[in-house]
Amino acid sequence: MKLFIFCLLTLCGSAVGGMFSLKLSLRCENLEKFLNMLEYIRAEIRYTHTALPTIFGRIKNELDFFVSDRLVAVSENAESFIEEWKSCLEKVSSLTQQDVKALMFLGSSLGKSDIQGQMSVIDLTRDRLTTSLENAREEKNRKGRLYITLGIMLGAGVGILML
């Protein structure tokens, strides 16, 4: 019975460590998706001069990431768009404050200038997110295994104390 409790606590600790490690992986994955979305928006604006509502509708259908039905619907109204953009960002919980700040800058700037201005905003956001992605990958590599190992050790430590 004691061995079972020890194993159970070790597994629970491992699961907690895995959860923290997964959050790091999820941040990398989401930043990669946002960078893909930026490239998509950039290409649509630059080459086809497509309007934002159409772009977001296509992103929703083709990429199936981040864009809500409401965001597509309100993308013509600047104030409602920014509110819905922020609401969509809040649903992506793995992002840091720095990531959200860069994406909020993008959301508040899209559709407010000519094509060249929008390209500049997208490029600036892409550069910021690329830096964030590099940092996230480094953090994942450095801390990912650490979290799992600490979880296992913590679970085993608590199990030993209970024996």
pLDDT at 78: 65
pLDDT at 36: 92
When pLDDT is cut at 50, 70 and 90, the band that residue 124 belongs to is very high
Report the distance separating Cα 46 and Cα 5, nearest Å. 61
Report the distance separating Cα 50 and Cα 113, nearest Å. 14
| Average pLDDT rounded to a whole number, residues 98-119 | 89
Q: Look up residue 56 and give its two tokens.
A: 């977001």
Report the distance separating Cα 103 and Cα 116, nearest Å. 19
Give the contacts of 22 (CB within 8 A, at least 6 positions apart).
Answer: none
Q: Among 24-28, 56-60, 71-75, 131-135, where is mean pLDDT lowest? A: 71-75
Q: What is the residue-wise DSSP string for 21-41?
A: HHHHHHHHHHHHHHHHHHHHH
**Residue range of the domain that includes 25:** 2-162
pLDDT at 68: 74
Q: How many domains does the chain have?
A: 1
| Average pLDDT rounded to a whole number, residues 40-52 | 89
pLDDT at 150: 86
| Average pLDDT rounded to a whole number, residues 93-118 | 89
**What is the percentage of the chain residues whose pLDDT exceeds 70?**
98
| Average pLDDT rounded to a whole number, residues 23-46 | 92
Nearest 5°: the CA angle 120, 121, 126 is: 95
pLDDT at 7: 81
Of 35, 46, 30, 11, the residue nearest 136 (C-alpha)? 30
Report the distance separating Cα 64 and Cα 46, nearest Å. 22
Q: Among 4-18, 39-53, 72-86, 136-150, where is mean pLDDT lowest? A: 72-86
